[in-house]
Amino acid sequence: MVRIDDTVTASPKENVLTSLIYQARVRKLPCARCGIVNFIQFCHSDEGKGIGIKTDDRRGWPGCGLHLEGGKMVNGCHWFVGTSGELKREERRALEAQYSSETRAKILQRGEWPKNLPIWVDSNDAGIPDTYSNDTPVLREIEVNHDTPINESPVTPSRVRQLASRASDLQ
């Protein structure tokens, strides 16, 4: 017989990085859901969060907050995606993964990636083979030479593979 008790053990969380510069640059982008250009908040993706724990900023996305629309106050897309309950958990996580991936690409395309913030590449979006058997997207951290202008070409899956290849050559 297995004995069940109330022992609590710590489970390691991912090493989250917070970058106020990255957050500020994300807030300059239009809302990832509706495209509005004002009232933008930095939205942390839900997966991996807990009480008092935010996810890594590189998994964040721009979402509009409370604002006036057509003469009435609306809660905005940040509330809709994260709090409203309108989306099932799987739908919300899929949207947040899409929005955060698009956000990283836009920041890279604009040449505004913070110099000291390692770049994350979502292996599923980047076309990099996922060696894990589950359906969870694996975020692989890559280092790039920040002296090379990233915004010379658009951030496409082939460009991401090129950056990843260049990063592995440097190691």
Provide the 8-state DSSP code for 151.
Answer: G
In the predicted structure, residue 24 carries a pLDDT above the cut 50: yes
**pLDDT of residue 158 exceeding 50:** yes
Distant-in-sequence, close-in-space partners of 148: CB < 8 Å, separation ≥ 6: none
pLDDT of residue 55: 85
User: Which one has a higher pLDDT value, 82 or 15?
Assistant: 82
DSSP 64: E
CA of 166: how far to CAs of 130, 145, 152, 159, in Å? Answer: 19, 8, 15, 10
Task: Give whole-number Cα distances, 93 to 87, 119, 136, in Å.
Answer: 9, 21, 10
Asked if the model's pLDDT at residue 132 lies above 50, the reply is no
Confidence (pLDDT) at 7: 42
Of 31-40, 45-54, 82-91, give the lowest mean pLDDT range.
45-54
Cβ neighbors of 6 (< 8 A, separation 6 or more) are none
Burial 22-59 (b: 16+ CB within 10 A, else e): bbebbeebebbbeebeebbbbbbbbeeeeeeeebbbbb
Q: What is the pLDDT of residue 46?
A: 81
Residue 127 pLDDT more than 90? no
* 156 vs 116, more confident: 116
pLDDT in tens, 40-71: 999 999 876 666 677 889 999 999 999 998 99
Mean pLDDT of 133-139: 35
Q: How far is CA 164 from CA 54, 66, 90, 120, in A?
A: 27, 38, 29, 10
Confidence of residue 107 (pLDDT cuts 50, 70, 90): very high
pLDDT at 93 over 80: yes
141-156 average pLDDT score: 41
- The vertex-25 CA angle with 167 and 17, nearest 5°, equals 55
The amino acid at residue 141 is: E
d(CA 142, CA 121): 7
